[in-house]
A and B are shown apart, each in its own frame.
Chain A
């Protein structure tokens, strides 16, 4: 028998109830990753127990800390939902980072320049601009695949770099913050800033992100569209049988996932940075891929995975400060956790 089958039998003897095996496997994974993470911490000169306590304390110990976790989770949830949908249809959108930045750029420009005094209207205009920009940027990829069969992985990947360069240029010249010695863009009009929740230090975009979860779940499992996406993802034959116009579907999925990434970028500008800031994202579009996969491409899974990853990252940053563990090691720990969870998942399924 294979290695994995043998290990599976060790952890969860086949006689047990299937659900129980799943629980045991997941628990084993969490414990094992804690151990490996602890090892990394020891190598880095820290002390595992206090480090983990610092991680959780930093992330959840104060309202401000919890707000920080949520702020980190919001873009992951929104982009993750879009990617989960796209990946279901085997449309591998690797360009979410670029779509995020295009959305951020468009919404930022509107929020800076549009002479509308009424806050909610200005915000709405900025959001529309951001979503359209992200969707449009994604549509390029979709059309290239639908029309000419160009592989979307590479087109979306390369367009990331182009998008970031465009954003950088706008921040550097036309819309640079006056007086700034480095790359900082102009601030948005105060009316365009998203209000924050009192005490928690997170913007109201949180509600939007949370609202999208049941919406996405409904779309994915209870609508004909979601059904067709799944069929298309299964294989080409099944898609044809279900009457899927695959070209249209590809473009549609890129529009949706691109638009959602653009929305995430918009919220980063209006709610977090409140200016055109190149630092609004560091690979969030790629982290969202992990979130979508970890969440098994379904909406609730994406929500949980996003919160989980945000917790690890935010807490990890706090841990690096308290424990004196270099942040570089902290970066590695979410990766380790995720791998072990997937292994456990696989073992439980065997």
Chain B
């Protein structure tokens, strides 16, 4: 097998460019989840928010014809579900894990049902794709240029949003509140930081980003919607938050690592000739998970300390010490 067909400079650029694009929805959801979890809320409803954002954006883009409005619709739905999660987990303080799972179930049910109702029995509806736009000057940088700067508009928006949220967490007052609330809510409350409000906002951000991820998946890449189009990205995103040790930049990196290995295994199959290969295809399928696992273990062993927010998953009650 000719490895230069995968790792030679030209091939590598193609591989990186496509894997970065495909990883974007997961990356967005993962960074959003980082915000929520840093604030102390374990939002397992991510898959449902991503899926709902995908459907909403598809429907608006299909019927109205506007990708921009479709994207906004996706974000709006994500924010709405984030609000639902906040209401259940922060205001009513019920079991976060179950709330999240319930949101996923309801979202899966309603999206599948709606799509079937609108398009059942007919041909698969598709929308026109959006073109790639080269960023002037930047895209000529050898190596990095074609990978990052010859993508479509939604990709650029996603990168901006993801980096923006990283900045939000690291440098703003809100970001500090988030960390405080997730680490030690009682202390935060004593310093006049409203735990409830911070967590609500964190969930709105998290939900919105997941919804954006769904919009990017459908409008920026697939140009179709099908039932369960999210394909487990929400769950991977949650795992990536842990992988990235709750640091949004590492989370982003993890998302791309995972996306890269996933694209890699498909490409290796194509290069190695498929049927003739004696290596079972399942080994290729297992590659992204195995790599993520190994890197995770190596990183933890090397870094040592536990990075999990202390108050993660625990509902906060005013006036009672943790």
Q: Which residues of A does B touch, CB under 8 Å?
A: 2-4, 40, 43-44, 144, 148-151, 153-155, 157-159, 161-162, 165-166, 168-169, 172-173, 286, 289-290, 293-294, 326, 328-332, 334-336, 338-339, 342-343, 345-347
* CB pair B113 A154 closer than 8 Å: no
**What are the interface flags for B212-239 relative to A under an 8 Å C-beta threshold, 1 for contact and 0 otherwise?**
0000000000000001000000010011
Q: Contact: A339 with B102, CB < 8 Å?
A: yes
Q: Which A residues touch B95, using CB under 8 A?
A: 293, 342
Q: Which of B102, B110, B290, B306 contacts A149 (CB 8 A)?
A: B306
Asked if residues B106 and A2 are in contact (CB atoms below 8 Å), the reply is no
Chain A nearest CB from B274 CB (Å) reads 15
CA gap between A159 and B103 in the complex, in Å: 24
Asked whether, in the complex, the Cβ of A154 is within 8 Å of the Cβ of B99, the reply is no
Q: Are B116 and A326 in contact (CB under 8 A)?
A: yes
Chain B residues with Cβ under 8 A from A2's Cβ?
91, 318
Interface pair B93/A329, CB less than 8 Å apart: no
Q: Is the CB of B91 within 8 A of A158?
A: no
Taking the closest CB of chain A, its distance from the CB of B149, in whole angstroms, is 32
| Cross-chain contact B293 with A169 (CB below 8 angstroms) | no
Minimum Cβ distance to chain B for residue A143 (Å): 11
Are A169 and B308 in touch, CB under 8 angstroms?
no
Are B109 and A330 in touch, CB under 8 angstroms?
yes
Q: Which residues of A contact B239 (CB under 8 A)?
A: 153-154, 157-158
**CB < 8 Å neighbour of A153 from B242, B290, B293, B318:** B242
22 sampled A-B residue pairs with Cβ under 8 A? A149-B306, A150-B296, A150-B301, A151-B308, A158-B293, A158-B296, A159-B293, A162-B290, A162-B293, A169-B283, A290-B101, A293-B98, A328-B112, A331-B105, A331-B109, A332-B105, A332-B109, A334-B105, A338-B98, A339-B102, A342-B95, A343-B94
How far is it, in angstroms, between the C-alpha of A40 and the C-alpha of B108 when the chains are bound?
A: 13
Closest residue of A by beta carbon distance from B107: A332
In the complex, chain B residues 58-108 whose Cβ is within 8 Å of any chain A Cβ? 88, 91-95, 97-99, 101-106, 108
Q: Which of A151, A158, A169, A294 lies in contact with B98, CB distance below 8 A?
A: A294
Q: Is B142 an interface residue (CB 8 A)?
A: no
Docked pose: A289 CA to B296 CA in angstroms: 24
- The answer to whether B110 and A329 have CB atoms under 8 Å apart is yes
Which chain B residues lie closer than 8 Å to A154 at the CB level?
239, 242-243, 293, 296
Inter-chain CA distance A289–B227, complex, in Å, is 24
Name the CB-closest residue of A to B284: A165
Main secondary structure of the interface of A (DSSP, over half): helix
Residues on B lying within 8 angstroms of A by beta carbon are: 88, 91-95, 97-99, 101-106, 108-110, 112-113, 116, 227, 235, 238-239, 242-243, 280, 282-283, 285-286, 289-290, 292-293, 296-297, 300-301, 304, 306, 308, 318
Residue contact B94 to A339, C-beta cutoff 8 Å? yes
A158 and B97 contacting across the interface, CB-CB below 8 Å: no
Among all A-B residue pairs, the 5 with the closest Cβ atoms: A332-B109, A335-B105, A328-B112, A335-B102, A169-B282
Interface centre among A149, A150, A328, A338 (most CB of B within 10 A): A328
Give the chain A neighbours of B109 by CB distance below 8 A.
Answer: 40, 328-332
Contacts of B242 in A (CB 8 A): 151, 153-154
Q: A161-B289, A331-B109 given as contacts; is B98 within 8 A of A149 (CB)?
A: no
Determine whether the beta carbon of A150 is less than 8 Å from that of B112. Answer: no
B286 in complex: contacting residue of A161, A330, A346, CB < 8 Å: A161
**Residue of B whose beta carbon sits closest to that of A155:** B293
Name the distance in Å between A315's Cβ and chain B's nearest Cβ: 16
Whether A169 lies near B280 (C-beta < 8 A) is yes
Closest CB-CB distance, B198 to chain A, in whole Å?
A: 16
Q: How far is the CA of A157 from the CA of B234 in the complex (A)?
A: 13
The chain B residue sitting closest to A235, CB to CB, is B322
Measured between alpha carbons, how far is A161 from B95 in the docked complex, in Å? 26
Enumerate chain A residues within 8 angstroms of B286, measured Cβ to Cβ: 161-162, 165-166
6 further A-B pairs in the complex, CB-CB below 8 A; given A4-B92, A158-B296, A166-B282: A159-B289, A161-B285, A162-B286, A165-B283, A293-B97, A326-B113
